Chains A and B, each alone.
Chain A
Amino acid sequence: MKRKTMFEKIWESHVVHEEPGKPSLIYIDRHLVHEVTSPQAFESLRLSGRKVRRPELTFATMDHNVPTTMRSLPITDPISAQQIETLRTNCREFGVTLFDLDSPEQGIVHVIGPELGVTLPGVTLVCGDSHTSTHGAFGALAFGIGTSEVEHVLATQCLLQERPKTFLIEVNGQRPYGVEAKDIILSIIGQIGTGGGTGSVVEYAGDTIRALSVEERMTVCNMSIEGGARAGMIAPDEKTFAYLRGRKYTPKDFDAAVARWKSLPSDPGAVFDRKLVINAATLTPQVTWGTNPGQVVAVDSRVPSPADFADPNDRKSAERALEYMGLKAGTPISDLAVERVFIGSCTNSRIEDLRVAAQFIRGRKVSSKVYAMVVPGSQPVKKKAEEEGLDRIFKDAGFDWRESGCSMCLGMNPDILKPGERCASTSNRNFEGRQGKGGRTHLVSPIMAAAAAIEGHFVDVRQYRTN
């Protein structure tokens, strides 16, 4: 029998219809919806008199444009308020479950999907958001779609899809102290580039990946899209099953489900279209210096020079990035002072991220030159952090402690950088203006962000090991 990759197993078990020369019609098991990419889809359904085919497979929340100040305050931006109200109306009209702003389960869509057990191994899961790749950490085939496809899934519970290529990224070896899941994925993107995974579904494997916690795996899969990949996935294992057991929307007969899920991992010897092997022992804490996530270097190195790049496109990108970022080639990364620190986003806002940052911050103070904020990924994360006293640690150190949402990852809500402000951010995109027009974003891991908040500039967290 043909040895199959996990992707092939999931794909083949979801084909509704196939014929030569046409994309496959794929069944979608789970659909997550948020306020920004769905209003036009619902409106279009309404105009064509269509219904949501399987409302019980569709779950909605508002996260992108919601304020992270006290929930009892009204939303001051009337356009944001209207978008949020529109999602409420649409969910009510079409019978979709909504985790509204006052819900104890509200949060970033990619944080709450797994928390609720909506995300499961072996499912196909989509959302009108590119970071849907996060859910692949559970052995799901999960990818971001546009609003037309949101409408398509709402109406048909299916999608027309070209079969993507497969790309195996194997990470082996002991990762050094101070090297977090974020550093693994940033290193990978630095190697393959922002278009390196285009057309592919990446499977992350190897003993380093196996040793990651479920939340760390989500961080890795989350940024697959920054390497251009359609999706990222990691084989489910006992950690995955333990994480999911007892969660709200998991199957009633959980043990039977686990037995099925155990057949998902790629067969030994299964063939991938492409393969990359990485030695974790050589990895270092990463800091992006440019305006795309592939423009990244080790914290103990220097801002590169455009002349370092052989490819003319890369050189041009580097020139422009240095200008936008206000950086001089050759400057040590650790000399870069930051004015803002953001710990949050669907990449790094889960309880383990907050624990790592809090542990570092305990007993220290945020630099007087820095404004730092923590935005938990969801209400359950916030509650758990408060039960553990992490909020006190952050607040005592001088961090602002906020309500859950996407916040300054994309700055659709009032949390934005001012022009020229430099920010150490645990989010996923350092594009021009991403966190506010003229804002300068450096992507880092939570511990690196915490250290930058304390010191007022980037620091190599490995130096604290002996302290």
Chain B
Amino acid sequence: MEPFTQLKGIVTLLDLPNVDTDQIIPKQFLKRIERTGFGQYLFYDWRFVDGRALNPEFEMNQERYRGARILVTRANFGCGSSREHAPWSLEDYGFRCIIAPSFADIFYNNCFKNGMLPVQLQEEQVEQIFQRVRQTPGYELAVDLVDQTIRSEDGLKFRFEVDGFRRHCLLNGLDDIGLTLQYEAKIGEFERRAAG
């Protein structure tokens, strides 16, 4: 997994609460057996008109957001299904950080497994970012996982909380399975006890 330390990039907006994983990546694309190439289907029913032309009314499609690495959205992002295709498609599209007032549990967890950082800020802080992004085309944020801050050139500075272990894994690009296998003896011991 690619480590995540700092990220500076253009911010794009998705101004809706409760965005579910069916919207992030609709079911017809879950039949693929690969882990890659899902970015083209991200927010498919919203991004495209009839599956072809970009929908001009979908804010993210505006030219000013091209190349965005950071997605800022509203509460309970990623609710619904456990499909890891959701973070795969966001990551493949180019996002490495998602900022929202809250996230659904499974989605939140799935992000970390894919080198993506979901940042939880307060509603008012998210609102401030929304306003500034709308006022300034090409608005950028700098996300720093080392000192757990989000900064902008026009003076925003928010500190965010993240679980220490998840932070450690993301900073170092650690693979969970590798970590767990360090405890293989204890797993074996647990199994023997359970069988006994």
User: Which residue numbers of A lie inside 8 Å of B, CB to CB?
Assistant: 16-17, 21-23, 25, 27, 36-37, 39-40, 43-44, 48, 50, 53-54, 64-65, 77, 79-80, 82-83, 86, 128-130, 132, 144-149, 151-152, 155-158, 160, 162, 194-195, 198-199, 225, 228, 230, 292, 313-314, 316-317, 320, 410-412, 429, 431-434, 437
Q: Within the complex, which residue of A82, A128, A147, A228 is in contact with B79, where a contact is CB–CB below 8 Å?
A: A228
Least distance between A123 CB and chain B CB atoms (Å): 11
Sample of 15 more A-B contacts, CB < 8 Å, known A157-B191, A320-B16: A25-B187, A36-B31, A36-B83, A79-B32, A82-B33, A83-B32, A86-B33, A148-B176, A149-B109, A156-B177, A160-B180, A198-B76, A429-B20, A429-B80, A432-B22
> Which B residues touch A86, using CB under 8 A?
33
The CA of A80 and the CA of B29, in the complex, are separated in Å by 10
> Which B residues touch A157, using CB under 8 A?
187, 191
B190/A412 in contact, CB under 8 A: no
Q: Within the complex, which residue of A146, A225, A314, A410 is in contact with B110, where a contact is CB–CB below 8 Å?
A: A146
Q: Within the complex, which residue of B27, B184, B191 is in contact with A410, where a contact is CB–CB below 8 Å?
A: B27
The CA of A126 and the CA of B46, in the complex, are separated in Å by 32
> Which A residues touch B74, using CB under 8 A?
313
Chain B, Cβ-Cβ closest to A150? B84
Stretch at the interface among B100-108, B129-137, B142-150: B100-108
Chain B, Cβ-Cβ closest to A437? B45
10 tightest CB-CB pairs across the interface, nearest first? Answer: A148-B113, A146-B84, A39-B33, A146-B110, A195-B76, A144-B82, A147-B84, A313-B17, A79-B31, A130-B82
Contact with A along B171-196 (1 / 0, CB 8 A): 00000110111011011001100100
> Which B residues touch A162, using CB under 8 A?
163
Q: Within the complex, which residue of B22, B80, B102, B106 is in contact with A146, where a contact is CB–CB below 8 Å?
A: B106
> Which B residues touch A410, using CB under 8 A?
22, 27, 81
A16-B183, A82-B33, A199-B105 known; A412 and B165 CB under 8 Å?
A: no
The CA of A17 and the CA of B45, in the complex, are separated in Å by 44
Q: Tell me the total A-B contact number using a CB cutoff of 8 A.
A: 164
Q: Would you call B164 an interface residue if the criterion is a C-beta within 8 Å of the partner chain's C-beta atoms?
A: yes
Least distance between B194 CB and chain A CB atoms (Å): 7
A431/B23 in contact, CB under 8 A: yes
The CA of A381 and the CA of B74, in the complex, are separated in Å by 41
Question: What total of chain B residues lie within 8 Å of the partner, measured CB to CB?
Answer: 49
Q: Would you call B61 an interface residue if the criterion is a C-beta within 8 Å of the partner chain's C-beta atoms?
A: no
Residues 60-82 (chain B) with a chain A CB within 8 angstroms: 74-76, 79-82
A21-B165, A151-B177 known; A195 and B31 CB under 8 Å?
A: no
B75/A313 in contact, CB under 8 A: yes
A17-B183, A194-B76 known; A316 and B16 CB under 8 Å?
A: yes
B190/A27 in contact, CB under 8 A: yes
The CA of A367 and the CA of B40, in the complex, are separated in Å by 41
> Which A residues touch B9, using CB under 8 A?
none
Chain A, Cβ-Cβ closest to B101? A313
Most B CB within 10 A of own CB, among A64, A146, A162: A146
Least distance between A147 CB and chain B CB atoms (Å): 4
Least distance between B139 CB and chain A CB atoms (Å): 22
Chain B, Cβ-Cβ closest to A411? B27
Least distance between A149 CB and chain B CB atoms (Å): 7
The CA of A37 and the CA of B81, in the complex, are separated in Å by 11
A37-B83, A129-B82, A130-B81 known; A50 and B45 CB under 8 Å?
A: no
> Which A residues touch B75, using CB under 8 A?
195, 313
> Which A residues touch B194, using CB under 8 A?
27
Chain B, Cβ-Cβ closest to A42? B33
B109/A146 in contact, CB under 8 A: yes
5 contacts between A and B (CB under 8 A): A36-B31, A79-B32, A157-B191, A410-B27, A412-B30
Most A CB within 10 A of own CB, among B83, B102, B186: B83
A23-B165, A65-B31, A77-B31 known; A195 and B102 CB under 8 Å?
A: yes
A194/B79 in contact, CB under 8 A: yes
> Which A residues touch B18, using CB under 8 A?
194-195, 292, 313, 317
A40-B35, A432-B22, A432-B23 known; A198 and B102 CB under 8 Å?
A: yes
B31/A80 in contact, CB under 8 A: yes
The CA of A101 and the CA of B172, in the complex, are separated in Å by 43
The CA of A431 and the CA of B79, in the complex, are separated in Å by 10
A230/B113 in contact, CB under 8 A: no
Q: Would you call B114 an interface residue if the criterion is a C-beta within 8 Å of the partner chain's C-beta atoms?
A: yes
> Which A residues touch B180, using CB under 8 A?
25, 152, 155-156, 158, 160
> Which B residues touch A82, using CB under 8 A?
31, 33
A432/B45 in contact, CB under 8 A: yes
The CA of A360 and the CA of B35, in the complex, are separated in Å by 46
The CA of A157 and the CA of B194, in the complex, are separated in Å by 13
> Which B residues touch A320, using CB under 8 A?
16
Q: Would you call B26 an interface residue if the criterion is a C-beta within 8 Å of the partner chain's C-beta atoms?
A: yes
Q: Would you call B153 an interface residue if the criterion is a C-beta within 8 Å of the partner chain's C-beta atoms?
A: no
B20/A292 in contact, CB under 8 A: yes
Chain B, Cβ-Cβ closest to A64? B30
> Which B residues touch A53, using CB under 8 A?
187
> Which A residues touch B183, using CB under 8 A?
16-17, 25, 158
A155-B177, A194-B76, A292-B18 known; A36 and B102 CB under 8 Å?
A: no
> Which A residues touch B35, using CB under 8 A?
40, 43-44, 147
A21-B164, A316-B17 known; A36 and B105 CB under 8 Å?
A: no
The CA of A77 and the CA of B28, in the complex, are separated in Å by 11
> Which A residues touch B124, using CB under 8 A?
none
> Which A residues touch B80, using CB under 8 A?
130, 225, 429, 431
> Which A residues touch B34, using CB under 8 A?
40
Least distance between B27 CB and chain A CB atoms (Å): 5
